[in-house]
Structure 1
Amino acid sequence: MSSPNGSRAQKMRLPLFTQKGQLEVPTPSEKDWSKDDEEGYVFKDPHQELDSLPQPFRMINKLVNLLFDRAWEIVEERDSLREVELSRIRPTLYPPVLESKLSKRPRCIAVSQDYVFIAGAKGFSIYNLHDARQIYVYEKFKVEVMSIWATDLGNETLMAPVDEMGVVRLFYLCKDGLFFIKTINEVDDTSKQTICVRMDISHGGDFAAFLIQGAGDTWLDVYKLPKESWAKEVEHPQLAVNPKKKAKQPQMDVSICYLGEVKLSLPVQIMKIKPPKPITGSPFKSPLEVFAKIEGCYGLGSGQNHVIKDSQWEQQTAIFNATYRKYLDGEWEEEPLSMATFHFLFPSCLTMMPTEVKSPPGVASVLGVHWTGRHNFFLYSLNRTLKDKVDPEGVWPCAAPIAVSQLSDCGSYLVLACEDGVLTLWDLAEGLPLGVIALPEGCSCQSIHFLKYFLVHDGRNVYPEGPVKSQMSCVVLCTDTSLHLVTATGTQGPTVSMLVERPVKHLEEALCAVAPVPALPGMVLTFARNSSVRLLDVARLHVVCAFAPPEPYHLAVPWKPVFAVSLHHPFFLLRGDHPDGDSDTPSSVFYFDFDSCSLLEDVSKSCFIPQADLNLNDLTAAGFPQALPLERRCESVLQKRFQKLENKVKEQEHWTRLRRYSLLLQRENVRK
């Protein structure tokens, strides 16, 4: 006989429905079932027992179970992430070497030579780069400074802060003091105030361009800067300064004095460029009339000189609206103002201007401009006056609208990135295209950063001291936060490789900013959304180390970090914010020295290698002409061909001949 416990266990292992007492086999017919036996059945399935609950208890039970299941999934995911994080090799973290405490959170930082410019509430401050000592404080603005542009002029610095109202001012900083030059767009009537959206200063400080917006319009103002006159006018500034005013300097250990009373020569405006007009119907009746009425060949290809009628444009518009009507229904958004990106280019075979114009070597002669949503890259000569007619001397058309463009620091290379992810690489110094390459599918360019060309020699990255021609490399940050390395040579096609993939699970690791480090060959700083700042070696795809401000400081806006990298010294600056503060609370700017890091010690001091120490493979990779006799011969042949061809003169002769022939054909048509 079985025990009671055994029978109970046996009962628990029975199917869903069991009967109290003796077990009988029910009859096949439903009519023969006894209604009294229904009370003898017991529910043993726990799930069906819960389903028998009345509402709303069943709904509450399902929600509670769903909540527990989701919580358990989150716990498991966090536990797996913690295990992965513990197993991951973390880079060495280095703290800052210096700190500058500020009374308010600065919006921007700029570095030029040995000076650091930090934006303030009503002006800016100047600090020493090496010891973080405050040199001078300028607080004469009415509003806060939003951005600062600083350019080296040899031993001097040209600085242009832009305040919250969009007003831009020019300052000249030298060993004798700080001089105020001019306010570019300040007006007496605030209702007519214009704002400076973007600016750029040519390499060497000969020209400056400002993108201005106001009254629903956008235009580009270009100025010629008299830097030679400034150098002469600041030789004896004490003759024009009131000594009483000079004595009212801030009570600090200053080495710079403000000499605003000294009047320097004003910049001369030479151009005012407006966005290109939309393409409209042509009044020309035939191509012969186009050639006959256009005075010169400059600007041909901009899309304006065509023979498409208004009726044809209207017909195409009607077809487009009919095809995409379901997508076009609804309210139309107001079209934003057109934005321009511009670069100052040196004279070359690709940017050659009219023969009567001669620019000194090392001085920009051409302004390259492209507008948002446009396919063309316009070239304007800088050797003109404001009274001259502003027409582009050259136009480079692209297959898709240009999204991003970037010029290298040396001015030798230009990259045009279109909206379809195609990059066009130009060698302006040699007058040759380096190739066209497309980013991986789904990637669109967000920013381009040039790297100074480097080699990997004996396991370390070095800069060759000898001249290197037609060798460029740049990192491209895409809109999907992936990072790519693009390289090109004069004899081989361009290549693209992945440096950092787009994060799929951990979105907080997505990159938001990239900055090359000129003092370290092949190194870039990467800024992620989780506030991490890392130094990446692009040659080995290796994170060398990381940097972070001391606790409790952090990056308040990690997706838009405020930092500055020195071009000539192994320093970079980073703004750190207190976790309990806002924009009006004290903040700090931290100084990081690469030479103070044990992994980077003396890297910046021994980053150059003589040409004699490089082996043949290194020379071949670098493209030195003496190591490549065949390629050198090809380059010399091309150079001789370029020297023999007087491009613009012959183009003008052909154009004159074509105009005469067009007029002759028109006369013959009229006679017939």
Structure 2
Amino acid sequence: MLCLHHFCIIHRMSVYTREGTPDSEMGAACKTETSRKKTPSLEPSGATQLPASTNCLACSDDGSYLGVGHSQGLSVWCASSLICAAEWQQDGLEVTSIQMTRMAEAAYLLGTVDDMGVARVFAYHCEGIHPLSVINIMENINKRSICLTFELSEGGDYGAASISSNGAVWLEVYHFPSEAWLREIEMALSQKQDPKSSGDVDMKWSPVAVVIKIKPPTIPAGTALDGPLEVFKMTDFFTHCLALEVDTSSSRQWEEQSFNRDAGKTRGKNESPRRCTQHFLLPCGQFPGGSKAKSQPAGLPVAVCVWWSGSHNLLQYLLQKAPKNKTDVEPMPDVLWPNAKEILCSAVSRCSRHIALGLDGALVCVWDRQSGSPLSVVLVPATDSVFFRMQFVDYSPEPADVSQTFTEAKVRLLLLCKSGAIHTVTTGRGTQPCTVQLSKRPKDSGDLPTVTASVPFLQSLSLVMQRNGKMFLQDVINRTSVCLLILPTTHRIATPCNPVYALNTRQQTLFIQAGEQDSSCSASSNAESQSQLFIFRFGEPDIIKRYIVSLPDSPRQLNTQSCVTLEETCNLYLQQRALSVDERNKAVTQTWKQLQETAVMVQQRHSRAAAS
């Protein structure tokens, strides 16, 4: 599904700046200082001791449990009572990353990565933790593989791991046998309860199936880019996009190697492998081979989108079982989303209808999977806007009939730049995009934000944590601090540069790890006693209650209208274009008016300059 009109996008953006006088700047500073003094604060409602060397937290999607990763293993806690329900330990193992999702009633799946780069899958059921699978088993020490990232899909049906080995990096997507695992867990529990059993049950769990193995794009055999005329000789434009990207990447790598060789430091070809970022996608829009996509059960991910560092293309692969005896065949993407600039960061909406990409050159592109075309391309008018991370803000349920309310559909994004500046982008098809700078580049390094996260259950609010330990909730529309989160004077965030926290969307709470301000004040204090878990409850203060919104149990419940044929997709796209003609005409008229005003201003400046 690759259309030529994807490459013919006209960018319309006009930027106006207004210089303030010293008096106005002083007045604005005074107002800012006054607003800071009046900002209400929220203190934690409770605290509890954490295990030694706690490295990560995760909350289950239903809000019932917390997964805690620490030295020697992991543990599962009840989120309401903060009582440890189960623990799994292994000497010499330190869990550094953890995820948790509910795969069935009273059964949860956990995905972890330890400090040695080994990914594992666990199940929590009936107050017990069961180790189900080791993702990257190292059978040969000379071919040691390291898991860079590990992600579970909601519901625990799929998993995706980025693997590195001997300088090469690839992405593996797995299908988990959840139903078989549940039966095996029940069997293991019944054997343990059997009075004739010795107590030790050695279960052989069902293996994890590799659905697809994705490597960085390579030039297909017989494809060459010897000159510009070769482009027109290629019958497969899709293949050309991949070959062009690989050719550009190879040229960049060759230039870097030449530079290092001149400096006497020749770098190996695979010393800096390309990294990948992936997102699971729910059913939405048209899928190649519609009958195959229909075979998936309702609510399960049907595809995964992937982009590689240095890439301009977003690639989409259907989650289908690998064909037998063809595991060595490199899969081709089913959909390619081309972009004008290099991709720096990405985000997917809750219903996975929209995919947002932060591009080099301060560009933001939002793709609409339902129509298969760009929803909007926005230029962020700011300096030092090298994007670092982005998120969708607010939860907007999809209407029953998307085509009837098409012109009202808007998306809002939260952008974090490497400079520390924060922006919001509000856009939609046929409407003028709006960009707002929430905060400028901080002058003090302590004010650099280390966490900027949208809070799903608080409309238009984002959670901001700074390097100096300051925490607050910020209104992304009014650009005001709604509430300060204050820890006790005896404690501070344990790792301000990389805070360990978890948001519980069901209980509307924030869990964050904190340590003592000064451990030397007590002779009995040590590293283990300093780590505590503090709880902030957002549903209690009146200042926050007006922002609370209700969420569905799962994004799977969202109504995402699907088209299984190209004809249906084209018809939907034409309907949307017809419904949005008034909004687009208004945008064109407004743009022409702004251009005329700008032309008059420029002409007046030239006239004054000539007269002087």
Shorter-chain TM-score: what band? 0.7 to 0.9
- Secondary structure of the structure 1 residue equivalent to 2:92: coil
Q: What is the correspondence of 1:280-429 to structure 2 with a 5 Å cutoff?
A: 282=223, 299-303=239-243, 329=263, 331-332=265-266, 335-349=271-285, 351-353=287-289, 358-360=294-296, 361-385=298-322, 387-388=326-327, 389=329, 390-429=331-370
Given candidates 113, 116, 119, the residue that maps to 1:162 is 113
Identity %: 25
Distance 2:462 2:232 in 1: 51
Larger Rg: 1 or 2?
Answer: 1
Q: Decide whether the 8 Å contact of 2:293 with 2:302 is kept in 1.
A: no
C-alpha displacement of 1:410: 2.0
Which residue in the other structure is 2:415 paired with? 476
Q: Decide whether the 8 Å contact of 1:348 with 1:431 is kept in 2.
A: no
Which residue in the other structure is 2:535 paired with? 591
C-alpha displacement of 1:416: 1.3
What amino acid does structure 1 have at the position aligned with 2:392?
A: F
Q: What is the correspondence of 1:204-603 to structure 2 with a 5 Å cutoff?
A: 204-235=155-186, 237-241=188-192, 261-277=202-218, 282=223, 299-303=239-243, 329=263, 331-332=265-266, 335-349=271-285, 351-353=287-289, 358-360=294-296, 361-385=298-322, 387-388=326-327, 389=329, 390-439=331-380, 440-453=382-395, 470-504=409-443, 506-581=444-519, 586-601=530-545
- Secondary structure of the structure 2 residue equivalent to 1:554: strand
Q: Decide whether the 8 Å contact of 2:103 with 2:157 is kept in 1.
A: no
What amino acid does structure 2 have at the position aligned with 1:241?
A: K
C-alpha displacement of 1:405: 1.3
Distance 1:435 1:217 in 2: 35
Q: Decide whether the 8 Å contact of 2:460 with 2:547 is kept in 1.
A: no
Distance 1:92 1:139 in 2: 42
Distance 1:344 1:83 in 2: 45
Distance 1:400 1:186 in 2: 38
Q: Decide whether the 8 Å contact of 1:158 with 1:173 is kept in 2.
A: yes
Q: What is the correspondence of 1:630-669 to structure 2 with a 5 Å cutoff?
A: 638-639=571-572
Residue-by-residue CA offset, 1:478-500 (whole Å, 9 max, x unaligned): 11111111122233143221112
Distance 1:126 1:401 in 2: 40
Which residue in the other structure is 1:124 paired with? 74
Distance 1:245 1:148 in 2: 36
Given candidates 41, 58, 63, the residue that maps to 1:110 is 58
Distance 1:402 1:532 in 2: 31
Distance 1:640 1:267 in 2: 39
- Secondary structure of the structure 2 residue equivalent to 1:576: strand
Residue-by-residue CA offset, 1:497-550 (whole Å, 9 max, x unaligned): 11122223x442222211121121111110012211101122222211111322
Residue-by-residue CA offset, 1:386-406 (whole Å, 9 max, x unaligned): 625322223222222211111
Q: Decide whether the 8 Å contact of 1:105 with 1:577 is kept in 2.
A: no
Distance 1:298 1:268 in 2: 29
Q: Decide whether the 8 Å contact of 2:76 with 2:87 is kept in 1.
A: yes
Distance 2:532 2:188 in 1: 34
What amino acid does structure 2 have at the position aligned with 1:225?
A: F
Distance 1:260 1:90 in 2: 61
C-alpha displacement of 1:198: 1.0
Distance 2:98 2:145 in 1: 18
C-alpha displacement of 1:583: 5.7
Q: How many residues align?
A: 510
Where relative contact order (Cα < 8 A, 6+ residues apart) is larger, the structure is 2
C-alpha displacement of 1:226: 2.2
Distance 1:117 1:305 in 2: 40
Q: Decide whether the 8 Å contact of 1:171 with 1:178 is kept in 2.
A: yes
Q: Decide whether the 8 Å contact of 1:412 with 1:429 is kept in 2.
A: yes
What amino acid does structure 1 have at the position aligned with 2:265?
A: E
TM-score (norm 2): 0.72
C-alpha displacement of 1:245: 12
Given candidates 126, 131, 134, the residue that maps to 1:183 is 134
Q: Decide whether the 8 Å contact of 1:415 with 1:424 is kept in 2.
A: yes
TM-score (norm 1): 0.66
Q: Decide whether the 8 Å contact of 2:73 with 2:94 is kept in 1.
A: yes
Distance 1:333 1:293, change over 3 A: closer
Distance 1:399 1:317 in 2: 20
Distance 1:579 1:558 in 2: 13
Q: Decide whether the 8 Å contact of 2:136 with 2:146 is kept in 1.
A: yes
Distance 2:197 2:55 in 1: 29
Distance 2:31 2:241 in 1: 60
Distance 1:138 1:245 in 2: 25
Residue-by-residue CA offset, 1:300-354 (whole Å, 9 max, x unaligned): 5212699x9x9xx99x999x89xx9899756355641211101122344465346
C-alpha displacement of 1:355: 5.3
Unaligned runs of 5+ in 1: 1-80, 249-258, 455-462, 610-623, 625-634, 644-672
What amino acid does structure 2 have at the position aligned with 1:153?
A: M
Distance 2:157 2:475 in 1: 35
- Secondary structure of the structure 2 residue equivalent to 1:411: coil
